[in-house]
Structure 1
Amino acid sequence: MSTEKQIIQIALAGNPNSGKTSLFNALTGLNQKVGNFPGVTVDKKTGTASLSPQVQAKVIDLPGTYSLYPRRADEWVAYNVLMNVEKKEQIDMVLLVLDASNLKRNLLFCTQLIDLKYTVVVALTMNDLATKKGIQIDVEELSRELNIPVIPVNPRNNKGIGELKKVIARLAMQPTIPHTKDFIATKDLAEGAITKLQMQVPELNDYMALHYLANYKNLSFSQHKKDIISGIEQEEKFSATKAQADEILQRYTRIRQIMQQFVVEPDPLQKKLFTEKLDDILLHRVWGYLILVAVLFFLFQSIFWLAQYPMDGIDWSFTHLTNWVSGVLPHTWWSDLICNGLLAGLGGIIVFVPQIMILFGLITLLEDTGYMARISFLMDKLMRKVGLNGKSVMPMISGFACAIPGIMSTRNIENKKERLLTIMITPLMSCSARLPVYTILIGLVVPNTYYLGIFSARGLIMMAMYLLGIVMALIVSLVLKWLIKVKEKSFFILELPVYRAPRWKNIGVTMVEKAKVFVLEAGKVIIVISLLIWFLSSYGPSKKMQAVDHKYEVLEMQTPKTNAATLAQINRDFGTEKLENSYAGILGKTIEPVIKPLGYDWKIGIALITSFAAREVFVGTMATLYSVDENNTATLQQKMKNAKRDDGSSVYTIPTAMSLIVFYVLAMQCMSTLAVVKRETKSWKWPIIQFVYMTGLAYLCSFLIFRILI
């Protein structure tokens, strides 16, 4: 007896904020992967779900969409998959997520899918919220009226998931699945045009034919096919706008009848829900902004407050590990590589894991509770003044984690000019890669003092750096608004999700996953560059290095063995001079005249160059440089604090540190981001402009900060 499973392909569809992602996670668990839809850069999430011993499903999570009339790039992706024009995603069934608390609006998309003649299974979510609103749905009668299965589910606690899987598996096992009757009389909308098109393409049903007529110019048809449809359009005087308006009107007329029959809705004058009461405060024109500032301050304060002890513990552990390894291994080039290259670079990665986890955990908390969408709403008025709208806020907030997903999420912005402006300014948001740089420099020069017992000086400076990035982004957007000549009206329509208790498991999983990404992805770059910096710092032109070796051999021979202090000083001077004559030292000294006006020495110059691969490499570079230079057991922060210039003054004064922080706030030091900008804009023009304006802005502002504070 064969045990081979039947495999079906399911498209998971639904309106945004309907619980689609939660259902996808409940069905597929950890069996997920992320790629791109063929030919486009919109994320494609797929997963496998075991429905029964006989049936397994490949689930494709389509981008959220409100109807089959797309406007945004991601809606076009969902539309193309459902229309099956390119025959790349053969859909066997559509699993549609309907929000029970917004049933009328959700049913529009549902009825369109029914008329496309798909096998549709409805997962009815948000039932608890519907109950709180006083909405009662006769699920059985609704299912009978639509002639499709309707299963109430709650993906957050796996309620109804088993029943949903059984229904899908049962439908998959049926040899033939009878199509439902049309929800509305589609052919009546344009009978002549639909009939003529079906004569040319017999496999089209009425509703599919209507969409071919309406959107053939935007679909990847052959030119011959487009000419045929264009000819029918002209012969029958087909108007896509009129057909769409008539269709929507007819659908909502029937949806209204269904709602009256099978859904009991509350009196609109009933008392406000908790969500609405809370929004009166959080979206208030005064209190809303004060609360937002307080939330952001708490976020940045927590990065220092909560992470301090684990970071100190990790730093202490790596310092002692390096000391122990150095004492155990023989004094050879490879032991030096392990101690001052590998362990120094690795310590520069691991020490910042607590802060990365806390940052992403708190951001996920804001998203999970529903507050993140309120931030978009609050910022819309300000955004419009600089050429953006509220939809630009989410990519910018995503930029606090990483600019790359932030830039990719601009696909939700329909207006081309606003999308381009958002792409150009998102890298100015202080991403998590900048966090290690801020932390170590602020910790170096800002005392750990508190004002009024609760306001940390370090937390305030950290928040100021994040705000500087935001303010500069708005100023740049205002300038580019007048330079980029694209005239296109935009509208900001935002659905505010209800407030919900956070899913702590989800927050924990996100924190662990982001830490893994930081260690494994950023860590690879940091380790490779740390090893490269070790090599460049340990070796140099043979004549110069031999001269240094000879000089200090003579000095060591001339110094009595009993004079330990002098020998230790000779050893330190030897490390410093050897570093200055190494390849890294030569490179640093070459660029030093350019960066000296900003208060930087040649070692900082090396870190600036390596940081263009990835900003977080700064810490690994400094760890390697100072390990090679001093070769002692102090922590990196202690080594940087002890660093001296040629005249004996400290390198990391307040003017230098603040100048360096500002440079990292504003500079474009991420090759990956530039590559993504090129991919999203389909031109090298914009990433080049972005690199030039951000680097120039960083240099100018760092110069001014240094001169003001000096």
Structure 2
Amino acid sequence: MDIKVALVGNPNTGKSTLFNRLTGLNQKIGNFPGITVDKKTGVAKLSGDKEAEIIDLPGTYSLYPKSNDESIVFQVLADKGNSSHPDVIVLVTDASNLKRNMLLYSQVADLGIPMILALNMVDLSTKQGIEINTDKLAGKLGVQVVNISARNNIGLDKLKEAIANTTKIATQINEVDLHFLAPEAINAIKERINTDNNYYALQVLHQHEHLTFFDEKDQLEIEEIEQSHHFESSKAQAAETIARYKHLGTILSDVVIDKGTAKKFSFSDKLDAVLTHKVWGFAIFLLILFIIFNAIFAWSSYPMAWIETGFGWITSSGHEYLPAGMLTDLLLDGVVAGLGGIFVFIPQIAILFAFISILEDTGYMARVTFMMDKIMSKVGLNGKSVVPMIGGLACAVPSIMAARNIENWKDRMITIMVTPLISCSARLPVYILLISIIIPSRNIMGIVNIQGLALMVMYLVSFVAAVLVAWVMKVVIKSKEKSYFIMELPVYRMPRWKNVFYTMYEKSKTFVFEAGKVIIAISIILWVMASFGPGNRFENIDKKYESALTDTTKNTDHIKTLVATEKLENSYVGILGHFIEPAIRPLGYDWKIGIGLITSFAAREAFVGTMATIYSVDGGGEDSTTIRERMAASVNSKTGLPVYSFAAGISLMLFYAFAMQCMSTVAIVYRETKGWKWPVIQLAYMTTMAYLAALVAYQLLK
């Protein structure tokens, strides 16, 4: 690359949007060296055929870190040996709230790295009556100042040109005299680390223990300097912040003219008065949830039917035209059946993530976080816990990683422990499959879809369970740390439809390829285990029905179904299922469901693929063509009752709602907690909770 550029800015300034605009699809996500914090990099084309590597650093309000993510910013900017250390910094600010954003600018400027100030969302600030004299501001700061709107693709060509041509270090550097805060300690550090930058030395005093580029000897010597000069970090930080804001006031006094202060937030305030109301806010949130889950069933019914019909046609055509044999059976009853179990749920996955993307893009999800803080604080958590928990609707793995932003250790641990209880997208196929079998597809008053209502109830059950478990852990886990919650509510905006459709595509693709690999592998293994048995069991079954199959007076299709069923029960997978059946019979499950429970420990959604494979091998009945029809028609051979009764279906959904059936989640909890203690506790309590809830539900409803 010709140049390396770091994007730095406060949260909610549009930094990530700018990153996406500059880099397009030329992006990759990894980890910063030595720490499990996401590192987003991409390539941008600049003017004059230059190319730039763009690095999107985590959002932070200042260089003083409050989380692991924020500590990365100073590490990258301070360490010239870091692979992400930039040649140029683009400091992204919200033009409608410039003074607050400029605190971070003034800190970064004092590090002496060439930089550009990007005033983002200028279209919104103009509507709010805010005028910024960018030429005068550039003259005072001594850097290029560029007006942009990353969301609307305004000013990005000028920004690229500025990046390509900048060599300037901010002339404001050291205009705020911070040497007075700890002169002797700063001088000692400057001499120790061989720098002439006062602010760099001051930051080393503040956060040297977070800086990985200092070895153990360096750390001990810096700690000795800090103690010998009685350096008090919190007092120095407070004094610095006051001094910087005073200086920024003089810089911005004749640069920013706010003509719309009175009406600036009137629209947002009126909306927030309703959407974050202690009663109406929750009622509206529940209504939005119902609309989402109602749409998941109502809008996806036709695409699901088309996909099921398509895979049914492929299977029947394959058996008709392909040569009979083991390879054909493996392809159609193993691979194709597994693929059908994946693709049929793409419409629901796409619809769910479309709604989540819209709620995030409009700014409403931030309001949900704000409202939930009141509930969270009563169970020992804070509003920051809501971010991972809402993210848990998609997947627990990145959500547990997002808990790093929670400063309080106890809050972070409780969040990690309860986040897997939130119903993720992997549970969605299981819920939809079971609900479509046990709940009739009817509308109340022509509007309320009963199946959609049932799906919403399952999600609410998972959230209530997470809150209750958090309340218990609040008592069990001891800590003296105090927690706090500070967040900035973004302004309301129209969703970016391109972003919404891209999210739908990406999440659907991830589901197909990530979950799909596991499901296909399990489907093939299951087919092999279901197609073979120990000893000569299969031969004996063939001999048992040999005369019946040649008797033209009997229904040979029915006889073939009996043969397939009996072979399945005597296969390796059937033997395993019957072995565990006594443990799950009180829950209302048969041995086939038991196989699904075992395979879905790899990934919850594997239950669907497992059922597809087992019922394909089983024969499924003459008129049954889809998984749902085959499962709905299945009857318990001992009781003569439907396997998927209402009681058994509710029991199974509750088991999946609470059980820890995801190896990836266990692995990420191990990595985040640095040991097996918490993953084992989590696996034990969730499995126990799932079994007891399923047992009680079945025994009460049967």
Alignment of 1:26-425 (within 5 A): 26-84=21-79, 87-171=82-166, 181-220=173-212, 221-266=214-259, 268-270=261-263, 272-425=265-418
| Structure 2 residue 573 is matched with structure 1 residue 575 | no
| 1: CA distance, partners of 2:220 / 2:376 | 43
Between the aligned partners of 1:658 and 1:403, the Cα distance in structure 2 is 23
| Deviation at residue 608 of structure 1 after TM alignment | 0.4
What is the CA distance between 1:204 and its match in structure 2? Answer: 4.4
Q: Say yes or no: does 1:700 pair with 2:692.
A: yes
Structure 2 letter corresponding to 1:687? P
Partner residue of 2:629 out of 638, 643, 648: 638
Residues 272 and 226 (structure 1), Cα distance of their counterparts in 2 relative to 1, 3 Å cut: closer
Cα 1:533–1:187 change in 2 (3 A) is: same
SS in 2 for 1:644: coil
Partner-residue secondary structure (3-state), 1:668? coil
Give the whole-Å Cα distance in 1 for the aligned partners of 2:265 and 2:8: 30
In 2, Cα distance between the equivalents of 1:224 and 1:406? 36
Find the residue that maps to 2:2 and give its secondary structure: strand
**Hey, what's the Cα distance between the residues in 2 that align with 1:235 and 1:440?**
67
Q: Does the alignment pair 1:626 with 2:615?
A: yes
The Cα of 1:36 is off from its aligned counterpart by 1.0
Looking at structure 1, the residues matched to 613 and 222 of structure 2 have their Cα atoms a distance apart, in angstroms, of 66
Q: CA deviation at 1:446?
A: 0.6
Please give the secondary structure, in 2, of the residue aligned with 1:607: helix
Q: Is residue 587 from structure 1 mapped to residue 576 from structure 2 by the alignment?
A: yes
Q: Which moved more, 1:574-583 or 1:76-85?
A: 76-85
So what's the TM-score if we normalise by structure 2? 0.97
Task: Give the match's secondary structure for 2:285.
Answer: helix
Q: How does 1:15-34 map to 2 (within 5 A)?
A: 15-34=10-29
Query: Does 2:466 match 1:466?
Result: no
Deviations 1:584-635 (A, max 9, x none): 0000000000000000000000000000000111111101101101165611
> Would you say 1:679 and 2:668 are equivalent positions?
no
Query: Over residues 532-566 of structure 1, what are the superposed CA-to-partner deviations in whole Å (9 max), with x where a residue is unaligned?
Result: 11111110113212211221223324x2x2x252x
User: Which residue, out of 6, 9, 18, partners 1:11?
Assistant: 6
Superposed displacement of residue 8, structure 1: 1.5
Residue 655 of structure 2 corresponds to residue 655 of structure 1 = no
Following TM superposition, by how much is the alpha carbon of 1:455 offset from its aligned partner in structure 2, in angstroms? 1.1
How far apart are the structure 2 equivalents of 1:45 and 1:139? 30
C-alpha distance 237-634 of structure 1, shift in aligned 2 (>3 A): closer
What TM-score, normalized to structure 1? 0.96
Deviation of the 1:571 alpha carbon: 0.8
The match for 1:3 is: none
Cα deviation digits, residues 29-73 of structure 1 (max 9, x gap): 000011111111111111111113342111111110000111111
* CA pair 234-443 structure 1, distance change in 2 beyond 3 A: closer
- Contact 1:111 1:183 survives alignment (8 Å): no
The structural deviation recorded for 1:241 is 2.4
Partner letter of residue 123 of structure 1? Answer: A
Shift of 1:84: 1.4
SS in structure 2 of the partner of residue 70 of structure 1: coil
Q: 1:589 aligns to what SS in structure 2?
A: helix
Percent identity between the two aligned chains: 50
For 1:507 and 1:542, locate their aligned partners in 2 and report how far apart those are by CA, in whole Å.
Answer: 55
Question: Does the 8 Å contact 2:392/2:399 carry over to 1?
Answer: yes
The whole-number CA distance in structure 2 between the counterparts of 1:666 and 1:485 is: 25
Task: Give, in whole Å, the separation in 1 of the partners of 2:686 and 2:80.
Answer: 42
1: distance between equivalents of 2:210 and 2:154?
41
Match of 1:599 in 2: 588
Query: In the aligned structure 1, how far is the partner of 2:120 from the partner of 2:546?
Result: 77
SS at match of 1:122: strand
Alpha-carbon contact 1:611-1:618 (below 8 Å) kept: yes
For 1:688 and 1:292, locate their aligned partners in 2 and report how far apart those are by CA, in whole Å: 34
Q: What's the offset of the Cα at 1:232?
A: 2.8
Give the 3-state SS of the residue equivalent to 1:261 in structure 2: coil
The Cα offsets for residues 167-222 of structure 1, whole Å up to 9 and x where unpaired, read as: 11012xx5x86865423113232222222222232234111011112222332322
- Gapped regions of structure 1 (runs ≥ 5): 1-5
Counterpart secondary structure, 2:500:
helix
Query: Could you tell me how far apart the structure 2 residues matched to 1:258 and 1:180 are?
Result: 10
Distance 2:262 2:180 in 1: 39
Q: Does the 8 Å CA contact 1:85/1:219 hold for their aligned counterparts?
A: no
Mean Cα deviation higher: 227-236 or 102-111: 227-236
Alignment partner of 1:546 is 2:539: yes
Given candidates 523, 544, 549, the residue that maps to 2:516 is 523
Cα displacement string for residues 250-290 of structure 1 (whole angstroms, at most 9, x for unaligned residues): 10001111221211124644474311111111111211111
User: In the alignment, is the contact (CA less than 8 A) between 1:119 and 1:179 conserved in 2?
Assistant: no
Encode CA deviations 1:122-145: one digit per residue, 9 max, x unaligned.
Answer: 111121221232211111111111
Could you list the runs of 5+ residues in structure 2 that have no partner in the other structure? none
Are positions 1:511 and 2:492 aligned together?
no
| Number of corresponding residues | 698
